[in-house]
Amino acid sequence: MSNELQKPVIGFSCGDLNGVGIEIIIKALSDSRILDMCVPVVFASNKSINFYRKSLPDINFTYQSTRDFTKLNHKQLNVFSSWEEEVQITPGQLNEVGGKYALISLQDAVDALKKGNIQGLVTAPIHKKNIQSEAFNYSGHTPYLKASFGVNDVLMLMAAENMRVAVVTEHVPVSEIAKYITKENIFSKLKILQRSLQKDFGIEKPKIAVLGLNPHAGDEGLIGNEEETIIKPVIKDAKQQNILAFGPYSADAFFARGQYEQFDAVLAMYHDQGLIPFKSLAIGEGTNYTAGLPVVRTSPDHGTAFDIAGKGQADPTSLLGAVYACIDIIRRRTNYEDSHRNPLKKISARVLANVEDERIDEDNE
């Protein structure tokens, strides 16, 4: 198979039109080396791409426009025309236009994923309130994708060179976190996390650290009892099902003492408990990955950055990291599925190969 056919087709949703999404996409995909690794498809419009390209005169950026996935250019960026009408783009402003067209882009990208026209999706940042509508009544990309692909549960997993941090609750008000910390929720996240570490990150027997909910992991019930009544029993049950889970650990000491370096991933109870240390301690650029989906979706670990939108200042490094992660996970999944598809057939093949080697050795004696 030629290298051109092996390259995965990676889709890019453009995010909020008034944010930094299209700018960082242009900057990231202007590096021709990306074209050696994947076939990029941006779901937007020619006019929106050209609007931001004009503000980046020093960047060499070309593309072809299409609505036919059978005619993708494998040596150039492709723009899938998600809309044709004239749209007023106002960088840095929060308005209806930014959210409306972010959703149109995302819907087209998800449709392409479902049909197999693209093999992975990198989502540029949306403004979670601005995108709300009858078609998007979700707290972010993760629950939207969960509903779109009809899976029971998914997991927000932040990954960097030196650490991976997942969360039991995502965009939940602090006052409501405790009610989501149940045995069922934690165990579901642990199962998804272990499966993803094996299938998507190539770790055969991952070790997972579980954080407590309360300060000092509850101090044996002195500061809350969720650790004693919920989290510890879940960890015990998980070990009985061959999930190497340990804890619960006090979050502050766990990260301050570098204990995360001893584990393949960390399961935090809530958003800030996991993401503040991740964004403070991660080496390299972090990537947001949605584990538990039948498809591969990654995103940069930052938001719309309205304060610098349209000024040419946005850094594409995190988006590039999301692209690399998307490609790597697609390849690891393929290798995992190949190696686990029919183990008996592979064993038989090895046996036959050994027999043939022995026969050749005998003939040479």
Rounded distance between C-alpha atoms, residue 287 and residue 196, angstroms: 15
Q: Is the pLDDT of residue 129 over 70?
A: yes
pLDDT at 220: 85
Q: Which residue has the tokens 């997942």?
A: 166
CA distance 85 to 79: 15
DSSP bridge partners of 209: 246, 266
Distance of CA 352 to the CA centre of its chain: 41
Amino acid at 53: R
Residue 251 has pLDDT above 50, yes or no: yes
- Per-residue pLDDT, 357: 53
| 359 has pLDDT over 90 | no
The whole-number average pLDDT for the span 125-147 is 93
Alpha-helical (H) ranges within the chain are 3-6, 21-29, 46-53, 96-115, 141-148, 177-180, 183-199, 226, 232-240, 251-256, 271-281, 317-340, 343-364
Give the Cα-Cα-Cα angle 344, 291, 10 (nearest 5 degrees).
90
Q: Tell me what pLDDT residue 352 has.
A: 46
pLDDT over threshold 50, residue 221: yes
Q: For the ranges 181-185, 265-269, 331-335, which has the lowest average pLDDT?
A: 331-335
Give strand pairing partners of 298: 122, 289
Are the CB atoms for 291 and 155 separated by under 8 Å?
yes
Strands 287-291 and 77-81: unpaired
Per-residue confidence (pLDDT) for residue 232, from 0 to 100: 97
Q: Is the pLDDT of residue 336 over 50?
A: yes
Of the candidates 6, 335, 38, which has an alpha carbon nearest to the alpha carbon of residue 202?
Answer: 335
Mean pLDDT (whole number) for 126-148 = 93
Domains of the chain from N-terminus onward: 1-151+293-365 (3.40.718.10), 153-285 (3.40.718.10)
Amino acid at 299: S
52: how many CB neighbours lie within 10 A of its CB? 26
Report the distance separating Cα 301 and Cα 286, nearest Å. Answer: 6
Asked if residues 172 and 271 have their Cβ atoms less than 8 Å apart, the reply is: yes
Walk across the sheet containing 63-66 and list its strands.
Answer: 63-66, 77-81, 39-44, 9-13, 120-123, 296-300, 287-291, 155-159, 164-167, 265-268, 207-211, 244-249
Task: Give whole-number Cα distances, 185 to 3, 194, 210, in Å.
Answer: 42, 14, 13
Instruction: Give the distance from CA 257 to its chain's centroid.
Output: 27
How far CA 50 is from CA of 53, 54, 56, 225, in Å, comes to 5, 6, 10, 56
CB atoms within 10 A of CB 29: 24
- Reference 44, options 10, 4, 11; nearest CA is 11
Question: pLDDT (tens digit, 9 = 90+) per residue, 286-319?
Answer: 899 999 999 999 999 889 999 999 999 999 999 9
Task: Locate 113 and state its tokens.
Answer: 């994923």
Distances (CA, A) of 155 to 38, 269, 301: 25, 12, 15
